Amino acid sequence: MAFYFQISNKDIINDVDVGLQPNPLPFAAANAPVFGRNAHLSPHLAIVLADEGFDVEQVCLPWRYFTDRGFLVEFVFPRPIDPPRTARPDPSYTCGWKGSIMGPSKEAMDIYSILCTLEEFIEPKHYTDEGFSFLDFDVVLITGGRNEPMRQMLTDPSLHSKLKPYLSLCKRIDPETNQPSVAPSKILGTIAQGTLPIYMSDPETPLKSTTIPVWMERTNSWISPPPENSSYPYAASLIPSDKYFAGPNYRSVFTMEDMHHYFISGRCNRDILPLSTGIYGLYRQMLRDQKSSMRPHKKRSNHYPTTFIKK
């Protein structure tokens, strides 16, 4: 089902007002949704993934969630595919016995079939291009994966160097102390091993996150050993202990929000929709914080009111 969106003409510090309606056309739209009267007013989201071996639910469900809310979603691959082809998900989770038990939902696969017809998925952006910058986006979502193509992307120095300037702009706006001219902050989300590039790009980063626990990583490796299993980097073991929180074992769904940055992370596929909701909430919170910082603050009086005593 195709949708079209309308965004009110408001300046950048105002909240996004989205009206969602079903497309009245009797046939399915072949192009990407139209984002309101002025597309440049739509917040821009980058979904970072490899052109092969990505997780369908980590890519397709956020795309649907954010396009439904008026975001302009673009896909970012490492480099152009040669020879040209459509990006392919991890086959071990889309077919065979593991696909039938642990594979993506029918909804996610249906969305993937739609993505394969869209220009932004067929001709994505590439972070290795000389003119590419993550600073062109308002929100960045880094997906995870445990197969070789995804591991190569997550440990790619080119990705780390392009992410570093973006990470420095994710600090939360304090409406009480920031100057009225404060610029909008960037929003960051990661899922599973997608946290790795953050700490590999800047080991001293103050960002705190969660990801899939080491014991679960090892269980996955035992069920389906990846190539060079002995050197497989467990994300949880590479994140500094003072910046990592595994989350409670009794909760099947868990996301962690950094208290000092507009950054939220999730552990596994079950967290992808709550993570998307959290990212959207952080974006709206950033707009509110920026708007509050631009209001004139009343100066606090240093004296007490005078008491008059009637004689």
CA 238, 243, 248, 251 torsion: positive or negative?
negative
Is this model's pTM higher than 0.85 or not? no
Q: According to the CATH classification, is domain 3-293 in 3.40.50.1980? A: no
- Using CA atoms, how far apart are residues 124 and 44, in angstroms rounded to an integer? 14
User: What pLDDT, on a 0 to 100 scale, did the predictor assign at position 159?
Assistant: 97
- Using CA atoms, how far apart are residues 270 and 86, in angstroms rounded to an integer? 26
User: What pLDDT, on a 0 to 100 scale, did the predictor assign at position 296?
Assistant: 65
pLDDT in tens, 194-212: 999 999 999 899 999 998 7
| pLDDT above 80: residue 262 | yes
Q: Band of the pLDDT at 215, cuts 50, 70, 90?
A: low
User: What pLDDT, on a 0 to 100 scale, did the predictor assign at position 32?
Assistant: 45
**Residue type at 270?**
R
Contact 156, 114 (CB under 8 A): no
Residue 267: which of 197, 195, 159, 207 has the closest Cα? 195
Query: CA 206, 210, 214, 216: dihedral to nearest 10 degrees?
Result: -170
Tokens 């979904």 sit on residue: 47
The DSSP bridge pattern shows strands 255-257 and 263-266 to be antiparallel
User: What pLDDT, on a 0 to 100 scale, did the predictor assign at position 23?
Assistant: 32
Q: Where is average pLDDT lowest: 122-126, 137-141, 219-223, 290-294? A: 219-223
CA 192, 195, 200, 204 torsion: positive or negative?
negative
